[in-house]
């Protein structure tokens, strides 16, 4: 009866204070986002524009990619194309080996998670240092991110302090966030100085300029690319936008939606290599061109990974990122997981109450909950429909089609109210699982309706 | 077939329905009665920067000392700033991590979010990020309302991205809230920023 998501969530929900904190933390971000949206009279105009820009770009992507490549090449950037994760990992490894790089500093990139870049590089003798503070904490603790923008908020300061004391010599007993951030600052500074290459993702690629834009609050993408001479950008092909007038729209939406800030601290435009350095951009498909051909789900390609849909999702907030089986959790992750491999990630489709809040906060207006609804309709075809629910649906369909049976059942239903609670709320009755069994009304809606009609 | 052609072909073949490029001039963005005042407000509140206005009888060295009296190592390539490190002449970018204060020139500010546009005008951009504290000089006449105006300005300029192929919007000091959502200044880059209005 249960999906993996509901089982993991059930486990997570056993610890009330932890759940409450997680819920409040992310709802706090959602509230900050709301304040940002309400502060701008043109907010809905921006969302509409962002939606339309992405629709246009994604459906003309081949043309824009060619334009982007031509301009980037003119700027002295090496452009590579990878059809899948394996090819992408090979390209990156080859570039690093050519430059004899043993250590890489890296800013956050969901694409590298998607392609398992770090494992692949480590296997080939390249040390990878995550430089976003949250990511670095998780890397040292050997944990996976539980959110795409705020990856380590589920970890508590005591755990971080213990980890630093074990891994960074000289860390004292304090678990104060300011102190721990300072410890990480000094530790990471050393890494920036020593690394042979800096890797970043790309929040946006600008076709008309042949440049990439990276947005961070910590400045770690900038530190990663200011000291090493080699810069490698990993970019999903859907990250492209046409020009600066589009960039203005996205710059205004990204941080407001993601973290409730008017802007990220750094919005950095990379249009070529450092003096005496080298810059590479690897354009990665890895299933994206297939998604474009999926009429029901191609709009997930509009996503800019701001995380707003997770922060607002009541299921995400009360079940946390680890309850999902795909590495991207929340509404967008449910959809992306299904597009990656529906036979492997179908468990997450249950992680939705269809409240549709995600559709309303998404800055590019991806119809997230409607897509989840459509996946549920497809579960039976995929062979993953829940057997009990399927049986019950069939019986109910039969009952609704036979008026006599339906009316009979309806008049019997209120007799359930007389049954002892311990029977009603027992495991035999899945309707009462997790909450009290409802009381059946004395008069059915049909009877009330008829009576009102007669009285008229 | 190469992966490049593979991807481009797949994208061309798989498109179901195409959409026109939207007209973005329809957006009516916020403008302020006094953009400079709004910039100052945002810079000193949400962005977390300090702001000082240059007196007529002050020179740049006085200003830097006023902003950071304890600083020993100053990095800059600006005329009129006495500096121990010069981002144009250091052997390695790494040397700039020793700077207590980096002094750089901003081109224009954005009122809605206190961003300052910093086109790279030095050989090693590390000065903008690796210095412990940052002083950004900004002409108070150069304030635009919002990011739409900002990108129009970057687009129109012939100077940016010519010698050095980098430019960045900076809004206050480096920040993080990655440990239990507690806001901390100085995650990786500058721990504090002072904007000097000239």
SS (H, E, C) chain B: CCHHHHHHHHHHHHCCCCCCCCCHHHCCCCCCCCHHHHHHHHHHCCCCCEEEECCCCCCHHHHHHHHCCCCCCEEECCCCCCCCECCCCCCCHHHHHHCCEEEEECCEEECCCCCEEEECCCCCCHHHHHCCEEEEEECCCCEECCHHHHHHHHHHCCCCCCCCCEEEEECCCCEECCCCCCCEECCCCCCEEEEEEC
Q: Is A156 left (phi over 0), alpha (psi -120 to 50) or beta?
A: beta
Find residues 34-63 of chain B whose CB sits inside 8 Å of chain A: 42, 46-47
pLDDT of residue A426: 76
Q: What is the chain A residue with the closest CA to B163?
A: A275
CATH superfamily assigned to domain A41-286: NagB/RpiA/CoA transferase-like (3.40.50.10420)
Q: Are B192 and B52 in contact (CB under 8 A)?
A: no
Q: Could you give the CA distance from residue A5 to residue A348 in angstroms, rounded to a whole number?
A: 6
CA of B53, closest CA in chain A: separation in Å? 22
Chain A and chain B share a number of CB contacts under 8 A equal to: 255
Which residues, at least 6 apart from A139, have a Cβ–Cβ distance to it below 8 Å? Answer: A118, A129, A130
CA A386 distance to own-chain centroid: 26
Q: Which of A182, A188, A247 sits opposite B151 (nearest CB)?
A: A247
Nearest neighbour of A218 by CB, restricted to B93, B152, B189: B189
- Stated length of chain A: 456
Characterise A268 by phi-psi region: left (phi > 0), alpha (psi -120 to 50), beta (else).
beta
Cα–Cα distance, B181 to A28 (Å, whole number): 10
Contacts of A272 (CB under 8 A, 6+ apart): A75, A76, A77, A211, A279, B161, B165, B166
Smallest CA–CA distance, residue A166 to chain B, in Å, is 17
Q: How far is A132 from chain B (nearest CA, A)?
A: 9
ipTM over 0.95: yes
- Do B169 and A267 count as a contact with CB atoms less than 8 A apart? yes
Q: To which H or E segment does residue A398 belong?
A: helix A387-400
Burial A394-406 (b: 16+ CB within 10 A, else e): eeeeeeeeeeeee
As given in the structure block, the two tokens for residue A78 are 């090496």
Whether residue B13 and residue A150 make contact (CB cut-off 8 A), yes or no, is: no
pLDDT of amino acid A2: 81
**Residues contacting A46, CB < 8 A, separation 6+:** A40, A249, A252, A253, A363, B27
Q: Are A200 and A221 in contact (CB under 8 A)?
A: yes
Domain layout of chain B by residue ranges = 29-197
B129 touches chain A (CB under 8 A): yes
Any residues with CB less than 8 A from the CB of A429 and at least 6 apart, and which?
Answer: A423, A437
Decide if B24 contacts A246 (C-beta within 8 A).
Answer: yes
pLDDT at B192 over 80: yes
Q: What is the pLDDT of residues B24-59, one digit of tens each?
A: 999 999 999 999 999 999 999 999 999 999 888 889
Cα(A224)–Cα(A226) distance, integer angstroms: 6
User: Any CB–CB contact under 8 A between A347 and chain B?
Assistant: no
- Residue B13, chain A, CB below 8 Å: the answer is yes
What is the rounded average pLDDT for all residues in chain B? 96
Residue B22 contacts A where some CB pair is shorter than 8 Å: yes
What is the dotted CATH code of the domain comprising A4-29+296-382? 1.10.1060.10
CB contact under 8 A, B178 and A133: yes
The CB-based long-range contact list for A445-451 (8 Å cut-off, 24+ gap) reads A446/A407, A446/A410
Residue of chain A whose alpha carbon sits nearest to that of B48: A265
Flag whether residue A275 sits within 8 Å of chain B, measured between CB atoms: yes
pLDDT, residue A433, reads 75
Using an 8 Å Cβ cutoff, are A112 and A143 in contact? Answer: no
pLDDT in single tens digits along all 456 residues of chain A = 589 999 999 999 999 999 999 999 999 999 999 999 999 999 999 999 999 999 999 999 999 999 999 999 999 999 999 999 999 999 999 999 999 999 999 999 999 999 999 999 999 999 999 999 999 999 999 999 999 999 999 999 999 999 999 999 999 999 999 999 999 999 999 999 999 999 999 999 999 999 999 999 999 999 999 999 999 999 999 999 999 999 999 999 999 999 999 999 999 999 999 999 999 999 999 999 999 999 999 999 999 999 999 999 999 999 999 999 999 999 999 999 999 999 999 999 999 999 999 999 999 999 999 999 999 999 888 888 888 888 888 888 998 899 888 888 888 888 878 888 777 777 777 777 777 777 888 888 888 998 999 987
Q: Could you tell me which of A302, A344, A350, A308 has the C-alpha nearest to residue A327?
A: A344
> What does the alpha-carbon distance between residue A405 and residue B110 come to, in Å, rounded to a whole number?
69
Cα–Cα distance measured from residue A108 to residue A199, given in angstroms and rounded to the nearest whole number: 9
Q: Does A61 reach chain B within 8 Å, measured CB to CB?
A: yes
Q: Are B162 and B121 spatial neighbours (Cβ–Cβ below 8 Å)?
A: no
Distance, in Å, from the CA atom of B118 to the CA atom of B126, rounded to the nearest integer, reads: 13
Put simply, whether A379 touches B (Cβ < 8 Å) is no
DSSP state of A438: P
Hey, are the CB atoms on B187 and A268 less than 8 Å from each other? no
Residue B101 has pLDDT above 60, yes or no: yes
Query: Which tokens go with A263?
Result: 């802007």
Say which of A46, A184, A226 has its CB closest to residue B129. Answer: A226
pLDDT for the residue numbered A438: 79
Whether residue B166 and residue A218 make contact (CB cut-off 8 A), yes or no, is no
Query: What's the pLDDT band for B10 if we cut at 50, 70, 90?
Result: very high
So what's the pLDDT on residue A390? Answer: 84
Q: Which of B12, B180, B186 sits opposite A157 (nearest CB)?
A: B180
Give chain B positions within 8 Å (CB) of A61.
11
d(CA A416, CA B36) in angstroms, rounded, equals 70
The CATH number of domain B29-197, selected from 3.40.50.300, 3.20.20.70, 3.10.129.10, 3.40.50.10420? 3.40.50.10420
Facing residue for B12 by CB, picked from A62, A81, A133: A62
> Would the CB atoms of A252 and B146 count as touching at under 8 Å?
yes
Q: In chain A, what are the domain boundaries?
A: 4-29+296-382, 41-286, 387-455
Q: Alpha carbon A192 to chain centroid distance?
A: 28
Contact A180 B187 (CB under 8 A): no
Q: State whether A271 and B161 contact (CB < 8 Å).
A: yes
Tell if the CB–CB gap between B182 and A177 is shorter than 8 Å.
yes
Q: Is A418 exposed, middle or buried (0-12, 13-18, 19+ CB in 10 A)?
A: exposed
Residue in A with minimal Cα distance to B125: A226
**Rounded Cα distance, A121 and A25, in Å:** 34
Sign of CA dihedral A325, A326, A328, A329: negative
d(CA A71, CA A59): 20
Query: Can you give the pLDDT at residue B35?
Result: 98
Tokens of A118: 């770090």
């Amino acid at each position: 009866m249960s999906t993996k998501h509901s089982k993991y969530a059930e486990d997570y929900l056993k610890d009330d204070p932890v759940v409450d904190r997680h819920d409040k933390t992310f709802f706090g971000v959602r509230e900050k986002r709301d304040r940002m949206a309400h502060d701008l009279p043109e907010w809905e105009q921006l969302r509409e524009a962002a939606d339309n820009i992405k629709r246009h770009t994604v459906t003309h992507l081949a043309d824009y990619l060619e334009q982007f490549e031509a301009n980037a090449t003119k700027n002295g950037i090496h452009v590579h194309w990878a059809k899948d994760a394996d090819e992408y990992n090979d390209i990156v490894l080859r570039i690093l080996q050519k430059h004899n790089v043993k250590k890489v500093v890296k800013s956050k990139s969901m694409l590298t998670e998607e392609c398992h870049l770090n494992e692949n590089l480590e296997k080939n003798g390249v040390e990878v240092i995550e430089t976003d503070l949250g990511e670095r904490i998780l890397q040292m603790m050997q944990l996976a991110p539980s959110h795409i923008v705020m990856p380590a908020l589920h970890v508590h300061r005591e755990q971080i302090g213990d980890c630093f004391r074990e891994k960074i010599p000289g860390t004292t007993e304090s678990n104060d966030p300011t102190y721990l951030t300072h410890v990480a600052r000094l530790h990471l500074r050393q890494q920036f100085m020593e690394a042979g290459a800096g890797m970043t993702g790309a929040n946006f690629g600008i076709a008309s300029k042949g440049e990439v834009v990276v947005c961070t609050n910590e400045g770690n993408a900038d530190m990663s690319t200011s000291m090493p001479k080699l810069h490698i950008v990993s970019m999903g092909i859907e990250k492209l936008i046409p020009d600066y007038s589009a960039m203005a729209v996205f710059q205004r939406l990204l941080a407001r939606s993601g973290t409730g800030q008017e802007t990220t601290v750094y919005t950095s435009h990379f249009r070529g290599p450092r003096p005496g350095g080298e810059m590479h951009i690897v354009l990665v498909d890895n299933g994206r061109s297939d998604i474009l051909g999926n009429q029901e789900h191609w709009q997930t390609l509009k996503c800019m990974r701001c995380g707003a849909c997770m922060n607002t999702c009541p299921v995400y907030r009360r079940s946390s990122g680890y309850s999902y089986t795909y590495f991207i959790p929340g509404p967008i992750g449910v959809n992306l997981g299904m597009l990656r491999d529906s036979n492997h990630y179908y468990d997450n489709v249950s992680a939705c109450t269809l409240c549709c809040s995600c559709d309303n906060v998404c800055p590019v207006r991806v119809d997230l909950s409607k897509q989840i609804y459509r996946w549920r309709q497809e579960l039976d075809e995929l062979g993953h429909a829940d057997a009990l629910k399927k049986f019950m649906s069939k019986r109910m369909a039969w009952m609704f089609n036979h008026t006599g049976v339906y009316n009979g059942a309806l008049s019997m239903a209120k007799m359930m109210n007389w049954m002892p609670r311990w029977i009603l709320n027992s495991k035999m009755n899945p309707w009462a699982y997790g909450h009290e069994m409802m009381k059946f009304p004395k008069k059915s809606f049909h009877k009330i309706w008829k009576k009102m009609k007669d009285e008229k | 077939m190469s992966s490049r052609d593979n991807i481009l072909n797949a994208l061309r073949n798989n498109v179901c329905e195409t959409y026109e490029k939207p007209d973005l001039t329809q957006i009516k963005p916020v403008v302020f009665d006094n953009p400079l005042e709004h910039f100052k407000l945002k810079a000193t509140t949400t962005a977390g920067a300090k702001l000082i206005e240059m007196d007529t009888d002050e020179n740049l060295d006085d200003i830097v000392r006023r902003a950071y009296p304890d600083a020993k190592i100053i990095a800059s390539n600006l005329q009129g700033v006495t500096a121990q490190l010069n981002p144009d002449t250091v052997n390695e970018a790494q040397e700039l991590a020793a700077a207590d204060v980096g002094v750089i020139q901003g081109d224009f500010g954005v009122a809605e979010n206190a961003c300052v546009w910093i086109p790279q005008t030095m050989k090693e951009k590390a000065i903008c990020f690796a210095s412990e504290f940052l002083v950004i000089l900004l002409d108070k006449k150069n304030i635009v309302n919002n990011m739409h105006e900002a990108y129009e300005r970057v687009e129109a300029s012939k100077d940016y991205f010519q010698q050095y192929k980098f430019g960045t919007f900076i809004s206050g000091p480096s920040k993080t809230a990655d440990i239990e959502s507690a806001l901390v200044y100085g995650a990786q880059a500058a721990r504090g920023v002072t904007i000097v209005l000239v």
